[in-house]
Amino acid sequence: MRLAYRLAADRSGVALIEFGFSLPILLVLCLTGAELTNYVITRMRVSQIALHLADNAARIGSGSQLQSKTITEADINDLLTGAGLQAGELDLYPRGRVIVSSIVPKSDPNPSGHYVINWQRCRGDQTGHASSYGNEGDMITKGMGRKDREAFAPPGGATIFVEVYYQYRPLVQIGLAPTTEMTEIASMVVRDNRDNTGGNNGVYPVNGVAASTC
């Protein structure tokens, strides 16, 4: 009986038992925090890739200040290759799909407020993901992009619109992340006068270079 009373009054293992009960909760909180942090960082990197790709696509071209600049299939392929290198360990193309579109004002008849996707190029193994806003040759009335935030082309100019789709790779478990898929968009107005009619709707072919068609 004396031993039983001593054991009942003993509190030396309470802290260890409480720690054992709280450890699973602590682990879930820590792992969830790590997963959410990784998800946010990944999404930010995908967004930066889309923005840099749109910016670079708006700058490329060959020609002097006295003539409209031209772009080639090789220029676009180099552009897409650079995006893959920028993504690094994200494995952008095995796990995603990049879609680059060029928007120009629609020509007559009735051009006012109407635009055309002049050309569109894609790269990535996730071919089941198509553009959410239109395909090459489509006419769009308000612009390209999310509702009330559409990107449109200036008169006589062009705008580059980029969509980057990516399948998120979980750090711990996919159930701890908000979603398994992410899509980021970006757009940039082409700075210089660009030839939007020559070649294949503004993109000139190059011998031995395959076009990254969608």
Q: What's the pLDDT band for 185 if we cut at 50, 70, 90?
A: very high
Interval 75-98: pLDDT, tens = 999 999 999 999 989 999 999 999
Three-state secondary structure string covering 186-201:
EEEECCCCECCCCCEC
The pLDDT of residue 179 is above 90: no
Q: What is the pLDDT of residue 177?
A: 74
pLDDT above 60 for 170: yes
* Helix, coil or strand: residue 102: strand
- What value does the mean pLDDT take over residues 120-140? 92
Q: Once rounded to an integer, what is the mean pLDDT over residues 131-160? A: 88
Identify the pLDDT of residue 126: 93
CA distance 180 to 53: 23
Its pTM stands at 0.83
pLDDT at 8: 62
What pLDDT does 13 receive?
Answer: 59
The confidence band for 99, taking pLDDT boundaries of 50, 70 and 90, is: very high
Pairing type for strands 115-123 and 96-105 reads antiparallel
Mean pLDDT within 187-204: 89
Instruction: Give me the count of residues in the chain.
Output: 214
Q: Report which of 103, 50, 104 is spatially closest to residue 79, judged by C-alpha positions.
A: 50
Give the pLDDT score at 172: 74
| Residue in the block written with tokens 């068609």 | 213
Query: Contact at 8 Å (CB) between 150 and 143?
Result: yes
Statement: residue 112 has pLDDT above 80: no
Write down the residue that tokens 């390209």 correspond to.
144
Over residues 151-171, the mean pLDDT reads 90
Q: What is the pLDDT of residue 123?
A: 95
